[in-house]
Amino acid sequence: MTILMEVVAEQWEYRELLVRMTARDLLLRYKQTVMGFGWAIFMPLVNTAIFSVIFTRVATIDVGTPYPVYAFCGLVAWNFFASSLRFSVTSLTSNPSLVTKVYFPREIFPFSAVLVSIVDFAVSATVLAALMLYYRVDVGWPILMLPVVFLAIVIFTAATSLLVSMANLFYRDVKYLFEIVIAVWMFATSVVYPIGRVGGRLGAALALNPMTHLIDAFRAVLLDQRMPGMAFGFTFAASIALLGIAWVTFHLAEFDFAENL
């Protein structure tokens, strides 16, 4: 606990550097692109259109709300998570001069990737709001829990980002395996279809996926006008514990980072 308090205090001391690094990464991500922030909207919309054709024309499923809204809602939350990890996995190995020659908390790199993805999430959320208005999806008082649900997603994402960035530094195979794992993980999560309808042992195994509970809670407060279930509470608590463990592990391992670059 003492070590965790120390690393949090150190991160707070370097908060201005985190802000500057986030601004730099945000600029680099969209530099010399025609669409700019439009990419944060374009890909979820394309995927929503594809899955809407599949699950409304080919294999029809009833999700209790207009399917395009259901799918886009899941994709907005998932893309935030996947995008954060995608940029975090190489965040240390792509900055060797900074990692080896200048001292500052190295977790700034993966945390910066998460903060940049929050900006993309905010842009995509405006389109989600427009879709909800178009399909006349009402909201209720449970939407007040939306900041708490999103905070849980951010915490779990930050913890996972620390782990994958550190893993890729020590084992460069991670960046090659990442795209396979993240694709499989998406279809093992309630992103474009309800995982709860999968029965048997496979359904029981998929129920252990923390991202399913987080995305289900996101939809619950936003689309279904209901509070998140107990599974969300357990996932939130586990995410906080995972962040603490990942952060301390990252801090203890960073003294070996320079030798592996």
- The reported pLDDT for the residue numbered 33 is 62
- The reported pLDDT for the residue numbered 25 is 82
pLDDT tens, position by position, 94-140: 888 787 777 888 899 999 999 999 998 998 999 999 999 999 999 99
**Could you give the percent of the chain with pLDDT greater than 90?**
52
DSSP per-residue letters across 94-114 = T-HHHHHHS-S-TTHHHHHHH
Cα atoms found within 13 Å of the Cα of residue 226, Cβ hemisphere only = 9
Instruction: Give the pair of three-digit tokens for residue 211.
Output: 């991202």
- The reported pLDDT for the residue numbered 51 is 84
Residue 192's nearest CA partner among 50, 41, 42, 43 is 50
- The reported pLDDT for the residue numbered 237 is 96
- State how far the Cα of 244 lies from the Cα of 8, in Å rounded to an integer: 10
CB atoms closer than 10 angstroms to residue 150: 19
What mean pLDDT is reported for the chain? 88
**Which residues of the chain register pLDDT less than 70?**
1, 30-40, 258, 260-261
Contact between residue 161 and residue 113 where contact means Cβ atoms under 8 Å apart: yes
Residues 6+ apart with CB under 8 A from 182: 82, 85, 86
- State how far the Cα of 97 lies from the Cα of 107, in Å rounded to an integer: 15
Residue that has been written with the tokens 């996932």 in this structure:
235
Residue that has been written with the tokens 């951010």 in this structure:
154
CA angle, corner 44, sides to 224 and 139, nearest 5? 20
- State how far the Cα of 68 lies from the Cα of 234, in Å rounded to an integer: 29
- State how far the Cα of 215 lies from the Cα of 146, in Å rounded to an integer: 11
Residue 39's nearest CA partner among 29, 48, 53 is 29
